[in-house]
Structure 1
Amino acid sequence: MYNSQPLISGWTFKQGNLISKTEYLPANDLPTEIHLDLLKNGKIPDPFKDLNELSVRWVAEETWTYRTTFSSPPDHGKRGVRTILKLGGLDTFAAVYLNGKLLLESENMFVEHHVDVTNLIGKSAEEDSLEIVFESARDEGLELVNKHKEHRFIVHQTEISRGPVRKAQYHWGWDWGPVLLSCGPWKPISLETYVARIEDVWVEYELSDDLEKVKGTVFVRLEGAGNVKAVIKKDSQVVISLGAFVQAESQSGVLSADFEASDITLWCPRGYGQQSLYNISVTLYSTKTSTSSDATVLDRTQKTIGFRKVELIQESDTYGTAFYFRINNVDIFCGGSCWIPADSFLTRTTPSDFRSWIQQAADGNQIMVRVWGGGVYEADAFFAAADELGILIWQDFAFACANYPAYPAYLASVEKEARQNVRRLRNHPSLIIWAGNNEDYQIVERYGLEYNYTEDKDPQSWLKTNFPARYLYEYLLPKIVKEETKGVPYHPSSPFGNGTSTTLKVDSTVGDIHQWNVWHGTMEPYQRLPRMGGRFVSEFGMEAYPHLETLDKCITRAEDRYPGSMAMDFRNKAIGHERRLISYVAENFRIHYDLAAFTHLTQVMQADALSWAYKSWRRDWGKRGNRKCGGVLVWQLNDCWPTMSWAVVDYYGIPKPAYYAIKRALEPVAVGVQRKVADWTVRPADELWQRDTSHIDMRKVWEEVQFDVWVVSSKTEKLKAELVVRFVSVKSGKECLSELRKEVQIEANGTTDAYLNHKVEIPDLQDPKTAFDTSKADPFVIHATLNIEGKQVASDVSWPDPIKYLTFPDRGVSVFYLEDESVVTVACEKPVKGFVFSEKQGVRLSDNGFDVVPGEKKEVHVVGCKTDGLEWRYVEM
């Protein structure tokens, strides 16, 4: 029977190649990588602390050798038994030696290798030796750039050496992560023995129009020969038995069996039904029939699948061309986030870590996670967690922000990489789209590379241009996806319009967009985000500091713990962050420069920015047939090291207030209220200087207020609710205008506008010809609540921005606890902006970073600490 013997322990490593005289040191158990092994032996400082990243750069310049010895597996040498060395992944330029002889050379960390060693091991009384020599990826990359002068290598974020190297691109550093070019056996290594084995199992199927029946085929790829039997189970109960496997057409070594079933239970996204999963159990028997009493079991394997129907809707409508997903005949607004690797050192992320991250996305009402192209094809545990929790996965192929080559050896390596990973992931129902790359077409437009989408349709001609990677994104990768999987859409890039020169950049009428004119680009005020959306916003973001506990862990010297210190600035990798972050904070809040206060302000500012975006763009979901915006994915969910960045959850899994702002905006039923903001960029200059000192028209904010209130629902049935809109004085906490109250018929799976351009007339504070005396003004918040069957299900607050123009005398804040200290309640006498509990690792809150209005109590459930141990802060406390 098939057997796998892991080669986990007993590894050593040294600096240099095989003939170097340096000492071997004990390595971690596999999988591992060089920085972690150097840390284990005290040879480098922790690169995640202070400026230590600079102290370990030398590691990437060296050659490193790993070594172990092993005994032959028990079945090795028996008649008909093959012994295979399986190398799950080698990072990256690796030469593998068995008993001193070269066995394999690899140049792609994303590729798995299987080498027949049947006749190469167990030839002496001594144990066999396995050695792997890893060369510097940076040096090898520079050599490849020099070798292939026919190609114009362009890379953003990092140096040019990453361009031709099939390695996780973020290892070269990014604008949120360190330069830590690691190497090593980053995936398991094992010895496999078998007469015959099951190499792969997958299912292709179609659902009937009413989704009640499924018709499909189970495919089994074999090495060797035998009889195959399979059963499909749900909750341990057999629902389909398959015994008549036959040779599949045009697929050597592949057997197949058709099946049909009724009354199947669908796999549904979170919030739209059950995440029903089926188990396929496949057994391989010897060439005797599987029903014979003396039949031998040669191998067994299991796969988990779910039945669902996926459509990427790109139909013409009043806004241009739609871009949204329809799952099981239901339109799905895909609110969620982008994912980068959870650690600079990939081997530290465990299956339970992946589960925790996906659970955190789900708990935050997110329904989609986009796996960014500069990282890796994530582990099976990542996708298994998404399958179980109903999170939709958008998977980029591993290309990001570069003009990649397409010489023959590179194409062959990419094809192998792509086929292996598409095959590995194709059974996961959570995986609903493959995209060719991240932002590579923006490189095309920025540098004027050759690209004629409408006229040049010959893939071979693309290889002769200075943008040969078009061959990858528009021919090879979609071909592989089509051949290796079924029912999963392919998108050439993120972002991508329809391929014409006017839609490679941000275009709100077609495709997906990355909206970076807030923070990057023109650095627009984030209050303009509502009208900066698109058909699907797959990236946008705003930076903030993590909580103080995280900063304390990575900035170890007290004298460095202030905004703008060298250690702080070094850790923030975002280009121009010194100006950009302070600009956005100062534009909206009164600046306080002690670390705790400044951290708080950045967090509230980030939460406000993301709230403007999620609320408004979800509002654009509209109705079926008129979906202006199909999804919003913030850049980014997580960090790969402790830092200040666009992440809404830091490296240690501690959410920033922005995480909760997204959670509130993505509730199944949510209410939004928003003032109209005057746009100073389109008004005459003479009017501008007379009336404004900022991007906000203060007279309109405090004297003549116009606002919208809307309700969004992901529920598939219509609802009735009571909407209440209150106007509460910031100064006194009293209601300064009569409340509005109405019954709302909430549209199913769509947007319902309750008040459009509703104007509140307030008597002029002064004659317009005299000075504007803010001391006589009475600015107010607009507080909207939505009640269904007498229970409040959603609320929202609109403030007169910018907050820095307001004064905050004593707010009358009350914080009290249940006796068991598991629930904390916050109330106030006057409106409170940005109430934030300081979170720590291991603590979980149901809500944080919220505004509080008199007459409403905020109840927060707490896990991981006693509620009376929480510290908090709010704006101008």
Structure 2
Amino acid sequence: SPSNLTSSMEIGRPYIRKAQYSFGWDWGPRILQVGLWRDVYISLAKDAEIENPYVYTKEIRDNKAYINVSADVDLYKDINVESKITVSYGNKIRAVKTADVDKGKIDTSIEIDNPDLWYPNGYGMQPIYSVDIELYSEDKLIDKRNVKTGIRDVKLIRKKDTEGESFIFEINGIKIFAKGADWIPADNLLPRLTRDDYYKYIKLAKEANMNMLRIWGGGIYEDDAFYEACDEMGIMVWQDFMYACAQYPDEYKWFRDIVYDESEKVVLSLRNHPSIVLWCGNNENNWGFYSWWGLNDPEYLGNFIYKEILPEICSKYDPSRPYWVSSPYGGVDPNSEAEGDRHQWVVWSNWADYGHYQNDKGRFISEFGFQSMPDYKTILSCTAPEDRYILSPVTISHNKMVEGTERLIRFMVGRIGFPKDFKSFVYLTQFNQAEAIKFGVEHWRSRKFMTAGTLYWQLNDCWPVASWSCLDYYKRKKALYYYSKHFYSDVMAYIKSENGGITVSGISDLLENTDATVKIKAYKLNGEKTFEKDISTTLIANDVTKISFINDSDFADGYVSRTVPVSRDGFTYPEYKNGNMLDTVVYVDMVVKGRHYENYLVFDRFRNLNLSKPDIKYSYEGNTLKLQSDIPAFGVFIETENETDLSDNCINMMPGKEYKIVFTEDPGKLNIFDITELTAKI
């Protein structure tokens, strides 16, 4: 191995063009499987053959779309051929055109009147057009290829502004705030995954109100079923090329030749998918050059791939979407807050509390995350009873991050308190993870479009593990998944404590100004209502609307001194706070087009609040569970005996309000509890 590869701590992995995660990662085991794992087929030669069909949108204007259709034609006999192209949608032919075959190429433009455009989830429909390319010789059909695609225009808007440079995806002229997660391979043994698995994962992402997934560069170029599901459901795809966290030996011609061949095949095979909105050169390698390995901007070690080979191939074979060098990338520091995309790992990896998110002004947060344990049923499936304690070797080995279990404990205790037992530990880590990511997403969405996207690490797992995911290996939903449905909704009520009061804002992804009625309430933790205000307002389309500022004194009558520990500048200090505010929760219910968007705010960490055990009543009405609490209750989990899908879980309840949870199957015996029943004073 060349000496210049040793500084990346990866001597062998960069040479082997296979899924890099199979060498082991901080969320997955080292399982180096070898062999054919995708379909192998024999292609029978005809008189002529269509290869590499490509359909992309050149322009959309004046209620017309102009699409380009091209393909290579391999002639195996000396015959004259011509092509016929038929564009269909919704069982209706939208355009037909014949095109010459010139020097083994088909290349023509087709006009579509009144096109149905493809939009991301939440912004419109996802019409999939069918394009048939037929090859004829003397009126005889020789070959035929079909392409499924969507008509849409994608731009990456990078303009100088007061904070640096924007990083905004624009689809069909509409600025999109990207809401989603990062995707890793969904199994360590890839052939076990089915088409149905991929469909279910993407459907779950859609139902969590996501509109983008980033395919991480240490995994695989995904199965066709993945991209087809994203096309169908409006999930934009940020597509990394498969280079991650290492220095690659591109100073060697033999390696560059492999890269050229691999990259051409990838772009040619994936470029027709409307869901793919960005090609990205690698995961974290340019950040590594600058911050980890002290190499700044080398000529090789992978940089020739990302800055020469890949942009050349993408430009040649796919002019329809932007190319980005790396993730993260932008500025002298590739992980800058001022431009490009950013991986925010000061929180968690660098041991900072999630409150640090509010100081981050990244322009597009393509990675940030917070760990939790998997679903408790999943733990039962992969552990023996004697292994079910926090520091058991089995528990620790099912967290592949360095000091991962220690971080789970530190952040849980720092925010909530000590768990009563192992099961409590599982649920408290999930609640803490959900609260952490909620805090970050709300902050960055409130900066729309100074920050233009949040992709949290990560959507899924590849084995039963404590990780950053919102769905565990068996697709069981963690608390973070349920929170995502709310903080990624098309409208969000945002409450921020600042300047001696709270600011209530409405964040809207809707594309028209919309009337809203807003109810702001405050409760004591004992359930007493101390404040109520009703406001009628209009939310500005695709923007943030400041609705009201309310002084703390309106919530808390008088000042009662209470001492709480506060960490600042590397030390913990006793700080005097108003106990009346610490005993207060603010609740906002925003109604837009008949739908309720709710949020809440407490004024310190949960461990510093005088929480009491709530009295939670429940009843059934068909397949709906109705819940009601006498006092504010946080992190209310519904644990079911049987496997069933719940419409919501890990709920934060306000007194007297009825909460309805729909379930798909008989839940069996229920166990309902909140965080006060999970913490212990020890």
The two structures share one fold, judged by TM-score above 0.5:
yes
**What SS is found at the alignment partner of 2:170?**
strand
Offset of residue 333 of structure 1:
0.5
Greater shift after overlay, 839-848 or 796-805?
Answer: 839-848
C-alpha contact (below 8 Å) 1:547/1:839 kept by paired residues? no
CA distance in 2, matches of 1:526, 1:773: 21
CA distance in 2, matches of 1:828, 1:205: 54
Offset of residue 323 of structure 1:
0.5
Q: Assess, with a 3 A threshold, how the Cα gap between structure 1 residues 806 and 415 changes in structure 2: closer, same or farther.
A: same
Match of 2:39 among 167, 188, 211: 188
Q: Which amino acid letter does the alignment assign opposite residue 313 of structure 1?
A: I
Residues 102-136 of structure 1: CA deviation (Å, up to 9, x unaligned):
xxxxxxxxxxxxxxxxxxxxxxxxxxxxxxxxxxx
Structure 2 match to 1:706: 501
Match of 1:382 among 207, 211, 226: 226
Structure 1 match to 2:571: none
Q: Assess, with a 3 A threshold, how the Cα gap between structure 1 residues 378 and 841 changes in structure 2: closer, same or farther.
A: farther
Map residues 382-531 of structure 1 onto 2, 5 A cutoff.
382-406=226-250, 407-451=252-296, 463=299, 467-498=300-331, 500=332, 503-505=333-335, 507-521=336-350, 523-531=351-359
Residues 730-765 of structure 1: CA deviation (Å, up to 9, x unaligned):
1x20113x2222222201011111234743364122
Match of 1:810 among 579, 603, 613: 613
Structure 2 match to 1:273: 124
CA distance in 2, matches of 1:566, 1:438: 31
Residues 71-126 of structure 1: CA deviation (Å, up to 9, x unaligned):
xxxxxxxxxxxxxxxxxxxxxxxxxxxxxxxxxxxxxxxxxxxxxxxxxxxxxxxx
CA distance in 2, matches of 1:263, 1:841: 50
Map residues 105-254 of structure 1 onto 2, 5 A cutoff.
145=1, 149=2, 151-155=4-8, 159-195=10-46, 196-210=48-62, 212-224=63-75, 226-247=81-102, 253-254=104-105
Residues 441-462 of structure 1: CA deviation (Å, up to 9, x unaligned):
121113454445xxxxxxxxx6
Structure 2 regions of 5+ residues with no counterpart? 564-573, 678-682
Q: Which amino acid letter does the alignment assign opposite residue 743 of structure 1?
A: S
Map residues 479-628 of structure 1 onto 2, 5 A cutoff.
479-498=312-331, 500=332, 503-505=333-335, 507-521=336-350, 523-555=351-383, 557-621=384-448, 627-628=449-450
Offset of residue 379 of structure 1:
1.1
**What SS is found at the alignment partner of 1:402?**
coil
Q: Assess, with a 3 A threshold, how the Cα gap between structure 1 residues 434 and 829 changes in structure 2: closer, same or farther.
A: same
Q: Answer 1 or 2: higher relative contact order, Cα 8 Å, separation at least 6.
A: 2
Map residues 784-795 of structure 1 onto 2, 5 A cutoff.
784-788=588-592, 791-795=594-598
Offset of residue 795 of structure 1:
0.6
Q: Find out whether 1:733 has 2:527 as its counterpart.
A: yes
Match of 1:667 among 461, 464, 489: 489
Offset of residue 633 of structure 1:
0.3
Offset of residue 773 of structure 1:
10
C-alpha contact (below 8 Å) 2:644/2:666 kept by paired residues? no
Residues 783-839 of structure 1: CA deviation (Å, up to 9, x unaligned):
0111236x4520101123211122333312112211x2x111221010001012236
**What SS is found at the alignment partner of 2:515?**
strand
CA distance in 2, matches of 1:668, 1:517: 28
Structure 2 match to 1:126: none
CA distance in 1, matches of 2:579, 2:180: 42
Q: Find out whether 1:872 has 2:672 as its counterpart.
A: yes
CA distance in 1, matches of 2:658, 2:110: 56
Q: Assess, with a 3 A threshold, how the Cα gap between structure 1 residues 475 and 597 changes in structure 2: closer, same or farther.
A: same
**What SS is found at the alignment partner of 1:876?**
helix
How many pairs are equivalent? 659
C-alpha contact (below 8 Å) 1:654/1:840 kept by paired residues? no
**What SS is found at the alignment partner of 2:529?**
coil
Greater shift after overlay, 191-200 or 298-307?
Answer: 191-200
TM-score (normalised: structure 2): 0.93
C-alpha contact (below 8 Å) 1:669/1:793 kept by paired residues? no
C-alpha contact (below 8 Å) 1:153/1:405 kept by paired residues? no
Residues 756-782 of structure 1: CA deviation (Å, up to 9, x unaligned):
4743364122599x9979988860111
CA distance in 1, matches of 2:4, 2:385: 49
Q: Assess, with a 3 A threshold, how the Cα gap between structure 1 residues 839 and 320 changes in structure 2: closer, same or farther.
A: farther
Q: Assess, with a 3 A threshold, how the Cα gap between structure 1 residues 767 and 152 changes in structure 2: closer, same or farther.
A: closer
C-alpha contact (below 8 Å) 1:496/1:513 kept by paired residues? yes
TM-score (normalised: structure 1): 0.72
C-alpha contact (below 8 Å) 2:278/2:322 kept by paired residues? yes
Q: Find out whether 1:831 has 2:632 as its counterpart.
A: yes
Q: Assess, with a 3 A threshold, how the Cα gap between structure 1 residues 805 and 151 changes in structure 2: closer, same or farther.
A: closer
Q: Which amino acid letter does the alignment assign opposite residue 336 of structure 1?
A: G
Q: Assess, with a 3 A threshold, how the Cα gap between structure 1 residues 488 and 767 changes in structure 2: closer, same or farther.
A: closer
CA distance in 1, matches of 2:270, 2:428: 41
CA distance in 1, matches of 2:640, 2:219: 28
CA distance in 2, matches of 1:527, 1:767: 21
Q: Find out whether 1:325 has 2:169 as its counterpart.
A: yes
CA distance in 2, matches of 1:440, 1:389: 31
C-alpha contact (below 8 Å) 1:392/1:432 kept by paired residues? yes
Q: Assess, with a 3 A threshold, how the Cα gap between structure 1 residues 485 and 812 changes in structure 2: closer, same or farther.
A: same
Pick the structure with more strand per residue.
2
Q: Find out whether 1:631 has 2:631 as its counterpart.
A: no
CA distance in 2, matches of 1:778, 1:186: 57
Offset of residue 564 of structure 1:
1.3
CA distance in 1, matches of 2:523, 2:668: 29
CA distance in 1, matches of 2:640, 2:287: 38
